[in-house]
Amino acid sequence: MTKIIIATEGWTKEEINDLTQIFPKEFPIIQKNLAQFVSDVEVGIVITFIVSGVVGGLSGKIGSDIWDKLKEKFSQKSKEDKNTSIGLEIIDGEKVRKLSLKTENPDLIQKAFDTISEVLKNDKNEKEVKHHFDEEKMSWIKVEESEFIKTVTGVGATTKPVKKGNKIYQMSLEILQKYAHTFVGKPITIGHGGKEIGKITKSWVEDDKLYYEGGIYKTASQEDILKFENIVKNGGGVSIAYSYFDTQ
């Protein structure tokens, strides 16, 4: 049976309800809060598809009409908000596929969705594969983990309120302490939902802050490292992918 998990931040209840209407009623849908352990809060969404026999034929298994509607929905969101961070997790038995995309260009969202099935066919023999959508190459690029070339440390989240649009987001000290361990193993990306260039190896809470230590992959280019360092130097939030938790 197909199961859908939708985790969001920055989307209204009306938008989420509208999104869930795309899927057939026989698809169980679980909604979760999406917490990005970052110094800033970005609009984002992660959809997890749990379904058998999907690798190599996602659009056929889910339904090409559903896939087209999702594509249009995200494209429209990009037009309206100019800030779209999308994560897709596809779980097929023991096989896991993770795809991330951040863009302000609706055309790139269209291109990314149109080429996902082809990417899945190429990696069907591996247990876990991660891809990011490269805006310059206009294609999905496989994330290649490797030895670390350098170590980075910083603050991933605090209890300080963050205003995003007309909303204020705040994580309690209890939440930081409870979920600090989920930080380890998460990817370090260039911008929220961007290209993965490393991963977290250690995290801890001190003085109302969640600190992290991680490594940058040896396979990361100097250009990627400079982009990452400039984001940090200019006060931008360091994106540590997505973490799920229920705040109820």
pLDDT at 37: 43
pLDDT value of residue 33: 67
> Which CATH number does 3-142 carry?
3.30.429
Alpha-helical segments (H) within the chain:
13-20, 58-62, 64-81, 106-114, 116-122, 173-179, 222-233
Please write the tens of the pLDDT for every residue from 46-57.
Answer: 788 887 765 545
Residue 101: the pLDDT is 82
Which segments of the chain have a pLDDT < 70? 1, 10, 33-43, 53-61, 82-84, 123-124, 162-167, 169, 191-193, 235-248
Q: What is the pLDDT of residue 163?
A: 67
- What is the tens place of the pLDDT at every residue in 174-233? 888 887 887 888 888 876 667 788 988 999 999 888 888 999 999 888 998 888 888 777
Please tell me the predicted confidence (pLDDT) of residue 49: 83
Residue spans of the domains in the chain: they are 3-142, 148-245
